[in-house]
Amino acid sequence: MRNDLKEILLTEEEIQEICERLGRVLTEDYKDKNLFCVGILKGSILFMTDLIKRIDTPLAIDFMDVSSYHGGTESTGEVQILKDLGSSIENKDVLIIEDILETGTTLKSITELLQSRRVNSLEIVTLLDKPNRRKADIQAKYVGKVIPDEFVVGYGLDYKEEYRNLPYIGTLKPEIYTK
């Protein structure tokens, strides 16, 4: 798998430093609040696991599985909810945990849906942000790293369900996804 990468963008150590930094900020911002973390499957699972271990305040977790890529390399803009939350988020301070924020179309749909459920507050934390790809009017309050417009894989991020298990994040060689 390593041979399919053009370069390593974030090492394991850099990812853990980001989780530490964000964990400290989130601990401060959510102390004395009713924190409910929503992981967006499947890509966010590794980031969410490492991040919540560093949030030193009580919290609950759940997951949503949504799809807008449908097997391709770009969001189609059509969002499908494959798995919704299993518990109520009413009167909770919801933190959406995402692996990457690109066009924002998927997250925009998710935030609108979750806000309609009478939450106290709703914010987004993302490991990676590609602001130059944004199509929807949405921003993450908490960002691990802003990255260039390249196709990245590893640490939960995939191409056709592969590469998620890489312990770091790398840019995929274009010849891999343009075959």
Under 8 Å between Cβ of 50 and 19: yes
98 sits in which H/E element: strand 93-101
Query: Alpha carbon of 26 to those of 3, 21, 151: distances in Å?
Result: 36, 9, 28
Cis peptide, bond prior to residue 108, ω within 30 of zero? no
Rounded to an integer, what distance in angstroms lies between the CA atom of residue 148 and that of residue 38? 26
Residues designated catalytic: 102
Rounded to an integer, what distance in angstroms lies between the CA atom of residue 125 and that of residue 177? 27
